[in-house]
């Protein structure tokens, strides 16, 4: 008898939808029966294949939001908006709402320099990946992307920046540092079909590589030149920047294009192609620690995750956490108690949610050294019904010992305490089988009392 909170244990592949608070509050008395304690759940629909964006993604234009005129959103910078590509299309340009199709010599999209963010690579690495569907064409440059500017720092005309283009169906990359310009040859694309093209420029490891439909084109490997490529040029799709000529009509479509601040390896390039055509990165995904370690004395741990929305509109999600049974990689059954184990969140376009933190109680069987248990995060887009999942592992580490405060860790100190006075903060240590030294440091809670001797 008395007050109770009643919740359910989530099941993988299901999302709890009711009650709104995901728990029932009861107050029972001896000898009574309470009914109507119901929960609602929704089964997940099939998930479209996609690849989680790799680290270093600087910008991504899916071109799935194209109006007859206007701009295309960089979904990695939607909140606040940066890197919007302004469309400059002729009246007869193809009206495909899922790709940027350019047919006239004047058709292009441009990201003005004033609207750019995270597109300066300096002397560092960078990569570009794009889905292209090109009509056959004769000789002449058809610019996929151009961020070059004229440079006269050497006293003679030069180029600073980078560009990727096709001449006929052959791909090319240009890198300019002002003092030198390097043009490297890439693979030949097939005409009138969707093709995934990647060029990775590792300027730290001094290695460049092209990929075609997820496959390394090692015959076109190159050594990129060193030097700063930052400039004040616009980024253009479909046409070169003005100092480099008017260019030919693109005569093709860009399904999506992404730019990275890091080189891409073989596995990442393959994963980016695998969902195609037209393959895209996941429009929404979760950031969840892959492993959480429990010290010998810990019975609970806080685990935090975030949900990323790379669509062009705000999205609402239901999420749920469920234990997984013992199996490969999970030596014991997953946690029986996760608080809370369900919730909702709204994420702005191109944004990331705040940390969503839960308390995970140590699974009863997770006691042996390196024993593991697993649980699954499932989140559902309320508008589409599409679910996506992430799995996380809990691990027992009996070699580490965790301190336990025996009193509040924040201690009030009277005014004008004499220098050298002792201020006690109680901390209890478990029986440590290995003798070792511990260091402690006190910290003031504001910026006005920086005491280097504390």
Question: Which residues, 6+ apart, have CB-to-CB distance to 332 below 8 Å?
Answer: 326, 363, 365, 366, 371, 372, 373
CATH class of the domain whose range is 283-454 = mainly beta
- Token pair in block for residue 387: 């679910």
The CATH architecture that domain 57-273 belongs to is Sandwich (2.60)
Burial class of 437 by CB neighbour count within 10 A (0 to 12, 13 to 18, 19+): exposed
454 CB-near residues (< 8 Å, 6+ apart): 441, 442, 443, 444
Half-sphere exposure of 387 (CA within 13 A, CB side): 20
The model's pTM is 0.69
Q: What is the pLDDT of residue 428?
A: 52
For 251, other C-beta atoms within 10 Å of its C-beta total: 19
Cα distance between residue 344 and residue 136, in whole Å: 49
C-alpha span between 38 and 290 (Å, rounded): 33
Q: Identify whether the C-beta of residue 348 lies closer than 8 Å to the C-beta of residue 309.
A: yes
Question: Tokens for 117?
Answer: 């963010």
Residue of 408, 404, 407, 409 whose CA lies nearest to 431: 404
Q: Please report the DSSP string for 59-71 in residue order.
A: EEE---S--SSSE
Spell out the domain ranges in the chain.
2-43, 57-273, 283-454
What are 281's two structure tokens?
Answer: 């990165």
Which stretches of the chain score pLDDT less than 70?
A: 1, 46, 65-69, 79, 90-97, 246-247, 275, 277-280, 400-411, 419, 425-454
What pLDDT is recorded for position 450?
43
The phi-psi region of residue 420 (left if phi > 0; otherwise alpha if psi is between -120 and 50; otherwise beta) is left
Length of the chain: 454
List, for residues 417-438, the tens digit of each pLDDT value: 776 777 776 655 544 444 555 5
Which of 379, 371, 378, 374 is CA-nearest to residue 392?
374
pLDDT for 230-272, tens place per residue? Answer: 999 999 999 999 998 866 889 999 988 999 999 999 998 998 8
- φ/ψ of residue 144, rounded to 5: -80, -50
Annotate 198-265 with three-state secondary structure.
Answer: EEEEECCCCEEEEEECCEEEEEEEECCCCCCCCCCCCEEECCCCHHHCCCCCCCEEEEEEEEECCCCC
Pairwise CA distance, residues 332 & 326, whole Å: 5
Burial class (CB in 10 A: 0-12, 13-18, 19+), 442: exposed
Per-residue b or e along 29-45, where b marks 16 or more CB atoms closer than 10 Å to that residue's CB: eeeeeeeeeebebbebe
Of 282, 268, 277, 375, the residue nearest 329 (C-alpha): 375
pLDDT for residue 64: 77
Rama region for 140: left / alpha / beta (φ>0; ψ in -120 to 50; rest): left
Name residue, tokens 């050497």. 154
Nearest to 89 by CA among 295, 257, 239, 241: 239
**Rounded Cα gap, residues 411 and 422, in angstroms:** 12
Output b/e per residue, 365-401; b: 16+ Cβ within 10 A: ebeeeebbbbbbbbbbbeeeebbbbbbbbbebeeeeb
CA–CA distance, 146 with 130 (Å, rounded to integer): 13
Q: In a 3-state reduction of DSSP, which class is residue 273?
A: helix
Q: Which residue has the tokens 């509040």?
A: 408
What are the φ and ψ backbone dihedral angles of 267, each rounded to 5 degrees? -65, -40
User: What's the confidence (pLDDT) of residue 408?
Assistant: 52
Q: What is the CA radius of gyration of the chain?
A: 28
Give the separation between CA 141 and CA 236, rounded to whole angstroms: 14
| β-strand pairing of 387-397 with 291-295 | parallel
Query: Is residue 394 a contact partner of residue 373, using CB atoms and an 8 Å limit?
Result: yes
CA-CA distance, 111 to 126, in Å (whole number)?
Answer: 18
């Amino acid at each position: 008898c008395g007050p109770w909170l009643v919740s359910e244990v989530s099941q993988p592949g299901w999302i709890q939808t009711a009650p709104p608070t995901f728990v029932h509050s009861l107050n029972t008395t001896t000898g009574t029966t309470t009914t109507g304690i119901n929960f609602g759940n929704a089964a997940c629909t099939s998930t479209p294949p996609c690849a989680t964006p790799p680290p270093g993604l600087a910008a991504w234009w899916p071109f799935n939001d194209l109006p007859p005129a206007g701009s295309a959103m960089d979904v990695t910078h939607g909140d606040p908006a940066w890197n919007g590509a302004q469309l400059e299309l002729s009246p007869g340009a193809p009206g495909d709402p899922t790709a940027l199709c350019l047919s006239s010599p004047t058709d292009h999209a441009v990201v003005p320099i004033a609207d750019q963010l995270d597109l300066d690579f300096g002397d560092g690495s960078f990569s570009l990946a794009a889905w292209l569907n090109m009509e056959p064409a004769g000789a002449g440059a058809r610019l996929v992307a151009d961020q070059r500017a004229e440079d006269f720092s050497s006293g003679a005309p030069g180029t600073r920046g980078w560009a990727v283009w096709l001449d006929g169906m052959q791909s090319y990359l240009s890198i300019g540092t002002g003092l030198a310009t390097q043009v490297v040859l890439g693979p030949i694309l097939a005409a009138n079909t969707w093709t995934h093209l990647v060029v990775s420029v590792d300027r730290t490891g001094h290695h460049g590589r092209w990929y075609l439909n997820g496959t390394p084109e090692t015959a076109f490997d190159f050594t990129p030149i060193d030097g700063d490529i930052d400039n004040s040029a616009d980024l253009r799709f479909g046409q070169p920047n003005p100092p480099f000529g008017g260019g030919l009509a693109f005569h093709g479509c860009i399904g999506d294009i992404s730019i990275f601040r890091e080189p891409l390896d073989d596995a990442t390039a393959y994963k980016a192609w695998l969902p195609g055509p037209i393959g895209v990165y996941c429009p929404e995904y979760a950031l969840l620690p892959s492993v959480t370690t429990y010290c010998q004395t810990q019975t609970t741990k806080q685990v935090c995750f975030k949900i990323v929305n790379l669509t062009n509109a705000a999205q609402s999600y239901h999420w749920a956490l469920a234990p997984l049974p013992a199996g490969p990689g999970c030596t014991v059954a997953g946690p029986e108690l996760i608080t809370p184990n369900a919730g909702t969140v709204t994420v702005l376009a191109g944004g990331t949610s705040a940390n969503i933190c839960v308390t995970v109680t140590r699974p009863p069987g997770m006691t042996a050294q390196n024993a593991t248990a697993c649980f699954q995060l499932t989140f559902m887009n309320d508008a589409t019904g599409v679910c996506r999942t992430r799995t996380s592992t809990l691990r027992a580490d009996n070699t580490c010992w965790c301190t336990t405060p025996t009193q509040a860790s924040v201690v009030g100190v009277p005014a004008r305490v004499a220098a050298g006075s002792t201020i006690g903060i109680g901390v209890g240590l478990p029986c440590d089988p290995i003798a070792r030294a511990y260091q402690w440091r006190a910290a003031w809670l504001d910026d006005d009392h920086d005491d280097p001797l504390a």
